[in-house]
Amino acid sequence: MVRRGFCIGALLLVATLAHAQERPHPFETLEFRLGGTQNVNTNFLHTFWQQGVGLEGGLTTPFYLGYAEVGGAVHRYGVTEPPQVPGFDALLLYAGWGLHANLGRLRLEGGLRVGNYRMTFNEQTFAGVRTESELALMGHGRLALRIVGPVSLYASGGYQKVYTFVRMNLWYTSAGLSYRFQTPGWLETVLR
Amino acid sequence: MKVSVQQVAGRRSGRCFCFVFRHSRSRRATARQYRSHQHRWGNLPSPLSPFPTSSCCPFLAFLLLLAWFSLPIPSHAQPYTHFLTADEIQQAGITRLGDLFRLIDDWETVSIDGYHHDVAAHGLAPLQTSRWMLFVDGQPVDLALLGTSNLNVLPLSMSAIDRVAVYSHPVLIAGVFAPAGALHIHTTPPARGYSAQGQFSAANQVNDPGPYRYTRFASPNIDRIGPTYEAALALADSAGHLRAHLGMDQHHATDERIETRVRTLYQGTASPRLLLAKAGGDATLHRLGRHRMYGGHARLQDLRFIEAIGLEVPTDHRFTFAGIQGDAAPEGSNTFRYRVSYTSSDLDPRQSSTGIDLNFRQDRIRANAEAYFSTPSVNGTIGLSADHQRSFAGPFLTSNPLFIPHFYGQVGVRSSAFSAQATTDGFIAAGKAGYTAQVVVRAHPTEAHTLSLTSSAMRHPYATENSLWFWMQQGYRLPMLADDAVQLPDTFAQAQTYTVDARWTYAPTNNVALSFSGAYRRFLSHTLADYRLTFDSTTTGFQTQTHVRTFLAGQTVQLGAMLRWRWHPSLEQRLTYRYLRTPQVDLAFFNAWAPLPWHRASYMVRFVPLDRLSLYARLTYRSATPWLLFQQAARDSGGLYEDDLPPRWLLDVTVQKRFWKNHLRTSFSLRNVLNERERQHPAGAVSHMVFHVALEMYFGH
C-alpha cells in the first residue's frame, strides 16, 4: 500500500508540475541515457541471492502527452554461501510512458513501465531450464540536472514487481548521464 | 497497515463467496426441481410450452403469409446484426481468429486450454453442440467436426479481415440457413499494386517459478502463448486481385491439470504443445461480373479434449477448403449468383502419440445458385442449394453419401417507416423433410426509435447437425471406449426450434444509442448428451458414461440492454448486460445449459486520440456457473477439479501505436489485468494475467 501510494503520489506531483508547461512536439528530440543501477531493498529473494551493481540504458522522447521511453537494464544476482541455488543475470526490456516537468535546469519525470524480465541461470552448476521470462511492471521517478548543453546528470528510483509465482518486489536506485539530441528526420518520420 | 489490507481482502473474499454460494444454491435447487420434473414427465416436451408443436406452425405460417402477400410496400429489413470492425479487432490486440470471441458480448465461449472454444450463440444452442456456423465472404465454411469447431484452423489471415458480422439469431446466408447463429467474416480487397504484410505476436502468462524453481518454493512452469507468425502477399488492379498468406502458431499445454492428462496419450520428448501451420489464398476477377476463387489448407497438431473419452487425444487435424463464387451483376438490381465449395477435415494420429487414432474424415461439397431482384420497394431472392457430405472412418464406417437439397426464397418490402422480410427454406435430409421459416419486421415510428421483431421456426432432421452421435449411430467408434460407454437412442428425433427476438432501440443522435432486447427460444425434440463423469486417478482424467437423449424439450429466455455513446469523436464507450434463464426444461437440457452464466455484463471503451494511437479496454463480468455433470468428478479429485466456477471480472487493456506512415503497428496488451483466477471449464486451465505483444509490418499503397 505504501509503495502504491508512493508511486501514485509521485506521478500526481509530476502531473501537477507538468501542467501548463510548454509541450514539445512528439518525437522532436531523443534523450539517450546510460547509468549504473542497484537493487536497494532486501526481502525474501535475498535469502537466496545477493544483488550486484547493474547497468541501465534507454531512450526517451516527447510523446503526445508526456513522454515515451524504451530501455533495458541488466542486473546480476550472485548466490549466498554456500551455494544452494544457481546465480542468474536478469535483463529487463521495457517500454514506458510518463509525465515530466522542467524546473529551470532541473527536470522531473515520473511514469510507468511494462516489460519483460528475462532471467538467465548459471547452468554450469545447476542443470535445468536455462532461461525464463516473466512480466514486470515498474513505477519510477527521475530527477535530471542539465550540466552542460545537452548533457544531464540524473538520479532515479523505482519500484519493480516481477510477476513470478512468488513475486519479486524490487526497489532500485540509478544514476548516470543523459544526452539529448534532435531526432533525425527519417527517424522522426518512422516514429510518427 | 498489513492487518488492514488483509481485513479488506478477507471482507472481499467473504462477499465473493456468499455471492457464489447464493447463485449455485439457487441453481442446484432448480436442478432438483427438474429431476423431479423429469421423473414425472420423462423426456416428453414440457406441458408448459407456450408453443406446442401443433399450434406453432399455423402461427408462423400466418406470419409468413402476412409478410409475403399482405404488406403494402416491400423492404430490406434485416435482423439486428452486430459488427466487429477491423479497427476494433486490431485495437483490441487480437491476433488469433479464436480470440475474436472475446469481443462478442452476445455469445458465450468456454475454453479448456485457451485454444479450442465451445461456443453458444445467444441462447440458440448449448455449448456441447457447437452449432454456430462460419461464413467467409458469403461462403459457408464447415469447420465443425465430431461436434466441435476450432476457428483457429481457418486458413485466413487476420490482416485480410474487414469486418465480422455476428448474427445472434437464425439467419439465411448464401443459401444456407444457420439455425444457431453465425459469424460472417468479410475480407477487405488488397490495395492496388503490390502489398506485403508480416506479423509476429506472443504472450506470456504470469506466475512462472522464476529463480525460485531451484528452491522449495518452486511452482510449475507456465510457458508462453504463441509465438504466432503470419505473412501475406497481394497483387491487385482494377481487374481483380491475387493474395496468398502463410501462418504458424503455437500454444502450450503447461497448465498442470492439462499437462498431466495430456501425458497419458502424448509421448513426445518436447513439452506438449499445439502446432498450427496454415496457408491459403484467394483471387478475384472483375470480368463478366465478379468472380472469386479461394482455397487453403491447415494442419493442426492438436491435443484435443474429448469429453466422452475424458482425456486430451493427440491428433493430426488437417483441414482443406476451396471454392468459387460469382455474381453476374454485383452492382445491379437484378443478378444471378453461384457458389461452390469443398471442405475436408481429417483426423489422424499425431506422431508423438501412443498411436490412438480418432480415424475420421469428412468431405463436404456445397453448391448454390440463386437469382436476386430489387426495386426501390421490393427485393427478393430465390435459390437452390445442395449439401453433399461423406464420412470415412477406416474399417468401421464409410458412410453412404448424405445429400441434402434445399429450395429457398426470401422477399423483403420497405416503406419509410416500416420494413419486413420473410425467408423460407425447405430441404430433405436422410429421407426426412425439414424446413425453416423466418419473418423479420422492423418499424421506425419516429426517427429516433426503431423496433424490430425476428421470429423463426425450424424443423431439422438430426442428420443435419453433423454431430458425433449421428456418426456413431452410423457405425463410427471412438477409440478407448467400452461398448457400453455411450448409449445411443434407436432413432434421433427431428428437432424443432422456435425463436423470437425483439429489440427496441432509441438513438436520439448519432452519438448515443440505447437498446433493450428480449429473446425467447423454444426447443422440442432436441438431442443432447448427458454425461456422467467420474475422476480417473490413474490418468487424472475422467471416466465418462454418455447417455445420448433425444426428444428433449426446453426453452431459454434472455433479456438484454445496451448503451453506446460517444462523448467525443475520439472516445467511444459501450455498456451491455444480458440475463439468461432456462425455465421449465428437461433435466438433460438443464445440465447442458447450466454452464452458461445467468448474468453477463461488459463495458468497452475505445479511445483514439490520434490517428495512429489507440487505447482499448474491455471489462467483462460473468456470474457463477455450476457444472452439474462434473460434481462427482470434482468431489473425487480432491480439489483438482471444480464443479462450481465462481463469478469473474476480466479486464483487458491494449495500447496500440502505428509508426512509419502506418507501415509498422505495435500492440501491447494486458489481459486479465485484475489478475483474477480464471477458469472457464472444470477440466480447464487456470489462467491469470497475460502480457501480449504484437508487431505487424505492412508495405503497400
* Digit-coded pLDDT (tens) for B478-531: 888 888 889 999 999 999 999 999 999 999 998 999 999 999 999 999 999 998
Q: Is the pLDDT of residue B670 over 60?
A: yes
For B217, which of A128, A166, A191 is closest by C-beta distance? A166
All structural domains of chain A, each given as residue ranges with its CATH number in brackets, are: 2-191 (2.40.160.20)
Closest residue in B to A86 (Cα) is B214
- Under a CB-based contact definition with an 8 Å cutoff, are residues A149 and A179 in contact? no
| pLDDT confidence band for B333 (50 / 70 / 90) | confident
> What is the spatial distance between Cα B606 and Cα B431, in angstroms, rounded to a whole number?
52
Alpha helices in B42-85 (DSSP H): 53-65
Q: Distance from CA of residue B578 to its chain's centroid?
A: 17
Q: Is the pLDDT of residue B392 over 70?
A: yes
Chain B positions touching A95 (Cβ under 8 A) are 668
Q: Around Cβ B58, how many Cβ atoms within 10 Å?
A: 9
Interval B622-636 mean pLDDT: 92
H/E stretch holding A109 = strand A106-121
Q: Which three cell numbers stand for residue B316?
A: 493430426
Q: Is the pLDDT of residue A158 over 80?
A: yes
Q: Hey, are the CB atoms on A48 and B211 less than 8 Å from each other?
A: yes
What single string gives the DSSP state of each residue in B102-144?
GG-SSEEEE-SSSSS-EEEETTSS-TTT---EEEETTEEE---
> What is the spatial distance between Cα B499 and Cα B495, in angstroms, rounded to a whole number?
13
Compute the mean pLDDT over every residue in chain B, rounded to the nearest whole number: 85
Closest residue in B to A113 (Cα) is B668
> What is the spatial distance between Cα B318 and Cα B346, in angstroms, rounded to a whole number?
5
Question: What was the pLDDT predicted at B482?
Answer: 84
Closest by Cα among B505, B630, B597, B578 to B110: B597
Q: 3-class secondary structure for B429-462? A: ECCEEEEEEEEEEEECCCCCEEEEEEEEEEEECH
| Bridge pairing between strands A53-62 and A151-162 | unpaired
Q: Hey, are the CB atoms on A86 and B207 less than 8 Å from each other?
A: no
- For A137-148, what is each residue's pLDDT tens digit? 999 999 999 999
Chain B positions touching A192 (Cβ under 8 A) are 612, 659, 661
**In this complex, how many residue pairs, one in chain A and one in chain B, have their CB atoms less than 8 Å apart?**
86
Chain A positions touching B208 (Cβ under 8 A) are 132-134, 164-165
- Under a CB-based contact definition with an 8 Å cutoff, are residues B514 and B562 in contact? yes
> What is the spatial distance between Cα B11 and Cα B21, in angstroms, rounded to a whole number?
15
| pLDDT confidence band for B431 (50 / 70 / 90) | confident
Q: Hey, are the CB atoms on B209 and A164 less than 8 Å from each other?
A: yes
Closest residue in B to A130 (Cα) is B211
For B207, which of A163, A168, A190 is closest by C-beta distance? A163
B8 inside domain: no
Label residue B22 exposed, middle or buried (CB < 10 Å: 0-12, 13-18, 19+).
exposed
Question: How near does any CA of chain B get to the CA of A49, in Å?
Answer: 9
Question: What was the pLDDT predicted at A124?
Answer: 66
H/E stretch holding B29 = helix B2-41
Percentage of chain B surpassing pLDDT 70? 88
Q: Around Cβ A143, how many Cβ atoms within 10 Å?
A: 16
Q: Is the pLDDT of residue B2 over 50?
A: no
Chain A positions touching B210 (Cβ under 8 A) are 119, 132, 134, 162, 164-166, 168
- For B109-143, what is each residue's pLDDT tens digit? 999 999 999 999 998 999 888 889 999 999 999 99
Closest by Cα among B184, B108, B124, B178 to B464: B178
For A135, which of B610, B613, B689 is closest by C-beta distance? B689
Q: Around Cβ B516, how many Cβ atoms within 10 Å?
A: 14
> What is the spatial distance between Cα B455 and Cα B77, in angstroms, rounded to a whole number?
13
Q: Which three cell numbers stand for residue B88?
A: 476494433
B569: which residues sit within 8 A by CB, 6+ positions away?
none
For A168, which of B210, B659, B689 is closest by C-beta distance? B210
Q: Hey, are the CB atoms on A165 and B668 less than 8 Å from each other?
A: no
- Under a CB-based contact definition with an 8 Å cutoff, are residues B127 and B175 in contact? no
Question: How near does any CA of chain B get to the CA of A189, in Å?
Answer: 6
Q: Hey, are the CB atoms on B661 and A189 less than 8 Å from each other?
A: yes
Give helix then strand counts, H and E, for chain A. Answer: 2, 9
Q: Hey, are the CB atoms on B659 and A116 less than 8 Å from each other?
A: no
B63 inside domain: no
> Count of domains in chain B?
1
Q: Is the pLDDT of residue B331 over 50?
A: yes
- Under a CB-based contact definition with an 8 Å cutoff, are residues A136 and A92 in contact? yes
For B609, which of A64, A119, A164 is closest by C-beta distance? A64
Residue with cell 409478410: B67
Omega before residue A82 within 30° of 0, cis: yes
For A190, which of B211, B613, B659 is closest by C-beta distance? B659
Question: What was the pLDDT predicted at B74?
Answer: 36
Residue with cell 414425472: B40
B30 inside domain: no
Question: What was the pLDDT predicted at B567?
Answer: 83
B118: which residues sit within 8 A by CB, 6+ positions away?
B109, B110, B111, B127, B128, B130, B148
B542 inside domain: yes
Question: What was the pLDDT predicted at B187?
Answer: 95
B656 inside domain: yes
Chain B positions touching A114 (Cβ under 8 A) are 668, 670, 691
Question: How near does any CA of chain B get to the CA of A192, in Å?
Answer: 5
H/E stretch holding B257 = helix B256-265
Domain carrying residue B280 = 42-49+76-699
- Under a CB-based contact definition with an 8 Å cutoff, are residues B143 and B132 in contact? no
For A128, which of B1, B206, B213 is closest by C-beta distance? B213
B566 inside domain: yes
Q: Is the pLDDT of residue B18 over 80?
A: no
Chain B positions touching A129 (Cβ under 8 A) are 213, 221
Question: How near does any CA of chain A get to the CA of B210, in Å?
Answer: 6
Q: Which of A3, A80, A131, A164 to mutate to test the interface with B (most CBs of B within 10 A)?
A: A164
Q: Is the pLDDT of residue B699 over 60?
A: yes
Give helix then strand counts, H and E, for chain B. Answer: 7, 35
B34 inside domain: no
> What is the spatial distance between Cα B390 and Cα B142, in angstroms, rounded to a whole number?
13
Which of B437-441, B452-456, B473-477, B668-672 shows the lowest per-residue confidence on average (mean pLDDT)?
B473-477
Q: Which three cell numbers stand for residue B403?
A: 445429400
Q: Is the pLDDT of residue A2 over 80?
A: no
For B691, which of A2, A48, A135 is closest by C-beta distance? A135
Q: Hey, are the CB atoms on A132 and B208 less than 8 Å from each other?
A: yes
Task: Enumerate chain B positions whose Cβ falls within 8 A of a Cβ in A.
Answer: 1, 5, 204, 206-215, 217, 219, 221, 224, 609-610, 612-613, 659-661, 664, 668, 670, 689, 691
Q: Which three cell numbers stand for residue B439?
A: 419473418
B39: which residues sit within 8 A by CB, 6+ positions away?
none
| pLDDT confidence band for A112 (50 / 70 / 90) | very high
Q: Hey, are the CB atoms on B219 and A126 less than 8 Å from each other?
A: no
Question: How near does any CA of chain B get to the CA of A42, in Å?
Answer: 16
| pLDDT confidence band for A68 (50 / 70 / 90) | very high
Chain B positions touching A116 (Cβ under 8 A) are 204, 691
B56 inside domain: no
By residue count, chain A amounts to 192
Most confident of A78-87, B66-75, B473-482, B555-564: B555-564
- For B569-619, what is each residue's pLDDT tens digit? 899 999 999 999 998 778 888 989 999 999 999 999 999 988 889 999 999
- Type of residue at B120: A
Question: What was the pLDDT predicted at B59?
Answer: 45
Q: Which three cell numbers stand for residue B442?
A: 422492423
- For B272-284, what is each residue's pLDDT tens digit? 899 999 999 999 9
- For B367-391, what is each residue's pLDDT tens digit? 999 999 999 889 999 999 999 998 8
| CATH number of residue B262's parent domain | 2.40.170.20
Percentage of chain A surpassing pLDDT 70? 83
- Type of residue at B489: P
Q: Hey, are the CB atoms on B210 and A164 less than 8 Å from each other?
A: yes
A54: which residues sit within 8 A by CB, 6+ positions away?
A36, A37, A38, A39, A73, A74, A75, A76
Label residue A4 exposed, middle or buried (CB < 10 Å: 0-12, 13-18, 19+).
exposed
Question: What was the pLDDT predicted at B24?
Answer: 39
Triad B481, B482, B483: Cα angle to 5°: 115
Question: How near does any CA of chain B get to the CA of A2, in Å?
Answer: 9
Chain B positions touching A165 (Cβ under 8 A) are 207-210, 212, 217, 219
Q: Hey, are the CB atoms on A114 and B670 less than 8 Å from each other?
A: yes
Interval B147-175 mean pLDDT: 93
A184, B645, B680, B684, B689 from B642: Cα distances, Å: 58, 7, 10, 10, 21
> What is the ipTM, given to two decimal places?
0.84
